């Protein structure tokens, strides 16, 4: 048996190479650059890498527009419209998310534990804090996760998909456990995320194995060809597909595979929550879209009831439970679950317009999510002595924010309105596009249910708006920190993006329209 090394098109790999390369470089920086300069170098490196990746994706997009989509690395990766658009959105969201991750309060305190290895509450921890240490490994970890996310929607075979899944997940497990405050909660979140994530990986891997057994290949394209032509092994195919889809649905946080979401979102450092809530979901939906559009059409009858059921459950449970939350981060977590349900409507549609619609929705959702969590990082509580401490997470602490800092409250309102799908925000156009795809794909009943869920969801978004603007502030228990300004930039970018996507969505819809076909 001859081993033929695959032809590797290095140019097509640029975005991923830049990000992963910068991640490796970041590890070296953490090891060798003197402590005083370390942080600055890391931030600059990470931001530069993500921005260059974004530019590289744009460049590849223009190339693909001319030369057409193709397989790279012998078919393990695919460079086509949907993949590149998803990568572009991920890079953009990661860049904005990175700004929030890199930001520090005025007195130089970032969102991460001074030394993650110290035991919470121990003298070591105090010492590390007093010494002003900071864990700059955060930045390479974010870059590694971003690299995995960039690979995920472009993966053309199941092995590559699995590798991407792990590359994006492992750094996130770590990052979740690194919060500066409420460290036990954070470490619990990390453990929970890790265990359930490993569990879902096992599902995915088992599914991939069964599908390999069915088709004799891990390539999605060959799998798709095998579906109609292979007779008598439906059990293998069905079981494999279901397990694989379950693995992916874990990552998007669809009910009943959502149980990790609220705890992890609540426990993880808020900038990381924003980053993973947005970017992971985009990457996972990118992969799910590819699997659904390339493989599932051949077995629509068998998988559709499952996906329908999951979409209904996801929208319903996410919305209903979000209504009773009193913690801002948990509320946003359940709202993100509900959004996963809305996106599933577009995935299930299985019409050409569905791809662009889903990606547009994810862009609007991603910007609003990063923005909303960025706002959360700035709203802090005060202890009895008046010292500003951790984030003010209880809803009641948000009362009167509109009076205290109108601009921030306005931005938050904008993100909430976008979540709720009010016209002139990106969320509205996204909902419109996704629901339109759903109706076109014959899922009108699902769309009606989705609309009812949106109506109910409006309740808890509006409740926060009410609190911020119409409720008297409750003494001086809450403070808004200024920070070094990066978070404000991120919030401004997200707010601007949300409005632009709502008012002049034309250009982005054009892009999404061009990305409407997967290379099988």
Partner 1 sequence: MQTISDLPWLSILIVVPLVAAALIWLVPALQRVARTVGLVVSLLVLAGFVVMATGFDFGAAAEHQLTEQASWIPQLGVSYAVGVNGLGLALVGLSVFLVPVALLAAWREQEVVPEGAVVARRQAGFVALVLALEATMVAVFSARDVFLFYVVFEAMLIPVYFLIGSYGGPRRRYAAFKFLIYSLASGLIMLVGVIALGILGPGGPDGFLVDTLAGAELGVWQERWIFISFFIAFAVKAPMWPVHTWLPDAAQQASPGTSALLVGVLDKVGTFGMLALCLPLFPEASRWAAPVIIVLAVISVLYGALVALGQRDIMRLVAFTSVSHFGFIVLGIYVREEVALTGAMLYMVAHGVSTAALFLISGFLTQRGGTQQIAAYGGMQRVTPVLAGTWLVAGLATLSLPGLSGFVPEYLVLLGTFRVNIVAAAFAVLAVIAAALYILLPYQRMFTGPRNESLAALPDLGAREKWVVAPLVAAMLALGFVPGPVIDVLRPVAQEAAIEQPSSLDTATGAGPDGSSDAAAAVAEGSEK
Which parts of this chain interact with partner 1 (CB under 8 A)?
A: 403, 417, 420-424, 428-429, 431-433, 435-436, 439-440, 444, 447-448, 451-452, 454-455, 458-459, 462-463, 466, 469-473, 504-506, 509-510, 513
CA distance 196 to 199: 5
Query: Which two tokens mark 20?
Result: 């992963």
**Least distance (Å) from partner 1 to the CB of residue 398?**
14
Least separation in angstroms between residue 177's CB and partner 1 is: 39
Q: Could you tell me whether strands 379-382 and 478-480 are parallel, antiparallel, or unpaired per DSSP bridges?
A: antiparallel
Instruction: Quote the CA–CA distance of 66 and 57 in Å, as a whole number.
Output: 14
Task: Specify the residue, 28 or 504, whose C-beta has the smaller distance to partner 1.
Answer: 504
- Alpha-carbon distance of 255 to 311, in angstroms, equals 8
> Given its phi and psi angles, is residue 184 left (phi above 0), alpha (psi -120 to 50 degrees) or beta?
alpha
The answer to whether residues 330 and 336 touch, using CB atoms and an 8 Å cutoff, is no
| One-letter-per-residue 3-state SS of 37-100 | HHHHHHHHHHHHHHHHHHHHHHHHHHHHHHHCCEEEHHHCEEECHHHHHHHHHHHHHHHHHHHH
Residue ranges with strand state E in 329-440: 379-382, 388-391
Q: How far is the CB of 513 from partner 1 (least distance, A)?
A: 6
Residue 342 phi/psi, 5-degree rounding, is: -65, -40
| Closest CB 288 distance from partner 1, rounded Å | 23
CB nearer to partner 1: pick between 74 and 473: 473
C-beta closer to partner 1: residue 243 or 447: 447
Compute the least distance from the CB of residue 451 to partner 1, in Å.
5
Beta strand 379-382 pairing with 77-79: unpaired
Least separation in angstroms between residue 356's CB and partner 1 is 9
CB of residue 346 vs partner 1: minimum separation in angstroms? 12
* Residue of 433, 415, 413 whose CA lies nearest to 508: 433
Residue placing its CB nearer to partner 1 in the complex, 386 or 506: 506
CA distances from 252 to 316, 321, 431 (A): 16, 17, 17
Cβ of residue 448: shortest distance to partner 1, in angstroms? 6
Nearer to partner 1, 44 or 459 (CB): 459
CA atoms within 13 A on the CB side of 148: 22
Smallest separation (angstroms) from partner 1 to the CB of 51: 28
At its nearest, how many Å lie between partner 1 and the CB of residue 433? 7
Closer residue to partner 1, CB minimum distance, 206 or 439: 439
Q: Report the 10 Å Cβ neighbour count for 395.
A: 18
Task: Report the SS3 class of residue 134.
Answer: coil
Nearest to 205 by CA among 237, 240, 235, 171: 240
78 backbone dihedrals φ, ψ, rounded to 5°: -130, 135
What are the strands of the beta sheet with 388-391, ordered from one edge? 388-391, 379-382, 478-480
Quick check: bond before 256 cis, omega within 30?
yes
**Which CB sits closer to partner 1, 67 or 472?**
472
Nearer to partner 1 among residue 287 and residue 363 (C-beta): 363
As a whole number of Å, the end-to-end CA separation of the chain is: 28
Q: Tally the C-alpha atoms within 13 A of residue 94's C-alpha that lie toward its C-beta.
A: 36
The distance of closest approach from Cβ of residue 472 to partner 1 in the complex, given in angstroms and rounded to an integer, is 7
Looking at the Cβ atoms of 112 and 435, the one nearer to partner 1 is 435
């Amino acid at each position: 048996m001859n081993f033929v090394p695959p032809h590797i098109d290095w140019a097509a790999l640029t975005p991923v190479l830049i990000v992963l390369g910068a991640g490796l470089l970041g590890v070296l920086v953490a090891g060798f650059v003197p402590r005083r300069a370390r942080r600055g170098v890391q931030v600059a490196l990470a931001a530069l890498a993500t921005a260059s990746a974004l530019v590289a994706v744009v460049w590849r997009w223009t190339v693909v527009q001319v030369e057409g989509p193709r397989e790279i690395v012998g078919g393990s990766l695919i460079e086509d419209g949907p993949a590149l658009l998803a990568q572009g959105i991920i890079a953009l969201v990661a860049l904005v998310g990175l700004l929030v991750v890199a930001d520090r309060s005025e007195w130089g305190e970032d969102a991460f534990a001074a030394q993650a290895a110290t035991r919470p509450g121990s003298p070591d921890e105090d010492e590390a804090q007093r010494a002003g240490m900071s864990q700059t490994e955060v930045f390479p970890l974010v870059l590694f996760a971003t690299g995995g996310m960039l690979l995920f929607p472009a993966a053309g075979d199941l092995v590559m998909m699995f590798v991407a899944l792990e590359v994006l997940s492992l750094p996130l497990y770590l990052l979740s456990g690194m919060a500066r405050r409420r460290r036990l909660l954070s470490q619990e979140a990390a453990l929970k995320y890790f265990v359930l994530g490993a569990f879902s990986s096992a599902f995915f891997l088992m599914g991939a194995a069964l599908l390999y057994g069915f088709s004799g290949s891990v390539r999605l394209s060959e799998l798709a060809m095998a579906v109609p032509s292979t007779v008598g092994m439906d059990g293998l195919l069905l079981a494999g597909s279901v397990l694989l889809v379950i693995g992916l649905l874990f990552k998007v946080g669809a009910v009943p595979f959502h149980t990790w979401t609220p705890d992890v979102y609540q426990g993880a450092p808020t900038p990381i929550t924003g980053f993973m809530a947005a970017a992971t979901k985009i990457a996972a939906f990118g992969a799910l879209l590819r699997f659904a559009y390339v493989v599932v059409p051949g077995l629509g009858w068998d998988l559709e009831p499952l996906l329908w059921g999951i979409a209904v459950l996801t929208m319903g449970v996410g919305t209903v439970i979000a209504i009773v939350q009193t913690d801002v981060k948990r509320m946003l977590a359940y709202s993100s679950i509900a959004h996963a349900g809305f996106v599933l409507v577009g995935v299930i549609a299985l019409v050409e317009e569905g791809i662009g619609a889903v990606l547009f929705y994810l862009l609007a959702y991603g910007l609003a999510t990063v923005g909303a969590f960025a706002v959360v990082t700035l709203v802090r509580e005060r202890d009895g002595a008046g010292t500003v401490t951790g984030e003010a997470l209880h809803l009641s602490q948000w009362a009167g924010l509109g009076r205290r800092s109108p601009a921030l409250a306005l931005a938050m309102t904008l993100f909430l309105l976008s979540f709720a799908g009010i016209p002139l925000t990106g969320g509205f156009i996204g909902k419109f596009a996704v629901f339109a795809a759903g109706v076109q794909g014959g899922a009108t009943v699902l769309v009606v249910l989705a609309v009812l869920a949106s109506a109910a969801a409006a309740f808890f978004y509006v409740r926060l708006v009410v609190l911020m603007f119409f409720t008297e502030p409750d003494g001086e228990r809450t403070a808004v920190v200024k920070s070094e300004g990066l978070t404000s930039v991120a919030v401004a970018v997200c707010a601007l993006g949300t409005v632009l996507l709502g008012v002049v969505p034309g250009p982005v819809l054009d892009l999404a329209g061009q990305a409407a076909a997967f290379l099988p």
